[in-house]
Amino acid sequence: MEAGTLSGRYETGDRLGSGGMSNVYKATDRILERTVAVKILAEHLSDDDRFVARFRREALAVARLIHPNIVQVYDSGVDDGRHYIVMEYVAGRSGAQLLQRHGPVDAETAAEIGIQACAGLDYAHRRGIIHRDVKPGNLMITGGPVGSGDLVVKLTDFGIARAIEQTRITQVGSVVGTAAYLSPEQVRGDEATPATDVYALGVVLYQFLTGRLPYEGSSLAELAVRQQNEKPLPPSTYNSEVPQPLSAAVLRALEGDTSRRYASADEFATGLQMGLEGEDVTTMMSSGEGHTPTRVLGGDTAATRHLDRTTAKTEYRPAPSPTRRPEPRYVEPRREPRAAAAASQAAQPRKRSAFSRFVRFVLALIALVLVAGAVATAVILTTDKAAGVHISKVAGDTVDKVVEEVKELVSKNKE
């Protein structure tokens, strides 16, 4: 592809890398005025509508992963039939380039590469995203052995392997993922899990320590047979400068039985730190997937030291402590006279309320008698402390007499 502009925004320049799935170019974002990397999918993938749809969904999911050890995805789009994604530009080399130019690296560098890669993988795994294609070419490395400054490792190419796996796109002589880094369960066709990425990273670190692969085969069938019947030799066999505990830490990631591998990428990182310090990883007792493993106590833990080092490198600064303000004082509001009277009335015995209703009833009855003009008998409900409510009969020949008897009855109920 010649230099040009994608979607009127990304001006492409030098090619940074190429592969069977895509080509990567250095580019300039004209709007934000920053250098980015643009990955343009190969034509045979861009022509598959199902793949493109799935890939864009995966790219959207990966764009939500913001972590110091993951290459961030900024944008995706299509221009004249060319599907592309825009990513963070990393001014370094891939792990594959590092191996090609320098060969094996020292034990401390290899362990640090693994620890940082584990941090990125663990972050993605906790959010339900599995890489599926961890290999040296998908690790971008700056500083350390490839330049000045602290070593920084970033994982790239999340999503493509998943999209291909779901659409079953295959080529002659190719598989989903690079064969040498496939876990036994992937070779069998089982579903990928976080343990799959742990295995692949174990292969990568074995290669960084020794300059060779733990298993080599000319086909998937041969690879599967070797994984089933052979145990890889410790890296210290090929490189005497590798501490035996670190060799054991890497070999644990290469266990064919997933239950014997590290329970998580975070646990793998702790194992690498322990191995580098000469501690036996068999002292680790996994507390379950997704949890930090239990270690033998004794001074600062390896996990704690790693976090401190990572924090220093990423230069995160704590927010300034907020200014302490005096706590607010609350004053009991004064009760208004009317409110006080209402509260006092609400506190009166229920008996008084019942009596008031009784008086209103009697007055209504008198009014009814007066309207009628003549009454022989009136039936009144009265309240008696001993018997509760009962009926009293009041008789009279005249209205005045009835009224007098009613008054007398009211007077008795007041007592």
Q: Which amino acids are annotated catalytic?
A: 133
Residue 66: CA atoms inside 13 Å, Cβ hemisphere, count?
2
- Cβ contact 89:25 at 8 Å: no
> In the sheet where 139-142 sits, what is the strand order?
93-94, 139-142, 152-155
Helix, strand and coil content of the chain, in percent to the nearest 5, comes to 45, 15, 40
Q: What is the DSSP string of 114-152?
A: HHHHHHHHHHHHTTT---S---GGGEEEESGGGSSSS-E
Q: Which residues have C-beta within 8 Å of that of residue 1, sequence separation ≥ 6?
A: 12, 15, 23, 25, 40
- 324 phi and psi angles, rounded to 5 deg: -75, 125
Placement of tokens 């004209």 in the chain: 30
Burial class (CB in 10 A: 0-12, 13-18, 19+), 91: exposed
Is-contact 173 60, C-beta < 8 A? no
Rounded Cα distance between 201 and 198, Å, is 5
